[in-house]
Amino acid sequence: MRREIVILDVETLGADLDLEALGAFGDVIQYKTTQESEVVDKVKNAHIIISNKVVISKETLSQAPNVELICIAATGMNNVDLDAAKALGIVVKNVAGYSTQSVVQHTFAMLFYMREHLKYYDTVVQTGLWSLSGLFTDVSHPFGEISGKKWGVIGLGNIGKQVANVATAFGANVSYFSTSGKNHSTQYPLESLETLLSSCDIISIHAPLNDDTYALLNDTNLPLLKDKAILLNLGRGGIVNETDLAYELNRREIYAALDVLEQEPIDIDHPLMNIEHKERLLITPHIAWTSIEAREKLLEGIVENISTFLEK
């Protein structure tokens, strides 16, 4: 039997990714993007569905009688109704760990951009202001070192541990808060969320989004952040209440760098798009996971998941 393999949002994987290996398993149908109203029609004859972020609901699965396997092109599995899939005998597979190094690297890229005021200094040079100054240097926007600073990690999973290790290599003093209460480390001290927020110079979030972490940072605890502290969210959108963060960024000098937002892409009228002190905020469009190497590993994981399933 020749299987039909449907990729619902291939554009999110990148045009540079060679998907030829998938052809060994069947006829591959690629859709750049898929709207909610289009899902049923696109998968009605599919045997294997590949989706990054397109939601696959119970209603969709009930109208796709041939589906045997759903491959999630990500680690998170919240875009598939897992209970419905199980009830229908459909196997659901994700790919874990493929983007760890990419996310860790982007964490520090965002940190350095904010901490060393790189946007300002690039503008000074590009606009010719440095040339006109007559000075060989510009110390108008002082930056501090990571060494000796306190770095708090929210969510000490695989990515959080790697970030902690790199931060330690830079000389930071790392502590952490466990959102699940299950991650315990003998290498780093465990602190309450309030202590972490009020004492750390840098805080990075690497936690999943669930009932325990939704709006974990909000108007009751964001005011605890130290002046000039840097908050990095590379976990999930929704962990930080974005309206409350926008207010705090306008109110005083703290900094935030976000790669994930509750709604993606961000609405043009979102409070974060209209803060007064724009130099205090960096937003990247959910790209921490997207290094070339990470996406190649992701594809390898999908191919392996399909191969393993078919062998059974």
The one catalytic residue among 59, 264, 293, 300: 264
**Confidence (pLDDT) at 52:** 97
Q: Vertex 260, ends 41 and 268: CA angle to 5°?
A: 80
128 with 260, same domain: the answer is yes
- Known active-site residue 286: yes
Distance (Å, whole) CA 280 – CA 255? 5
According to the model, what pLDDT value does residue 184 have? 80
Residues of the chain with pLDDT under 50: none
On whether both 305 and 246 belong to a single domain, the answer is: no
Q: Please report, as a single letter, which amino acid is at residue 158.
A: N
The answer to whether residues 165 and 199 belong to one domain is: yes
Q: How many CB atoms lie within 10 A of CB 261?
A: 20
274 in the same domain as 203: yes
Instruction: Give residue 187's domain range.
Output: 100-283
Closest by CA position to 52, among listed 303, 307, 305, 302: 302
d(CA 178, CA 306) in angstroms, rounded, equals 34
Tell me: do 170 and 59 sit in the same domain: no
- Which of 296, 292, 305, 253 has the alpha carbon at shortest distance from 275? 253
117 is catalytic: no
Residues 253 and 104 in one domain: yes
- Residue 185, pLDDT score: 86
Annotated active-site residue 236? The verdict is yes
Q: 236, 248, 280, 295: which one is catalytic?
A: 236
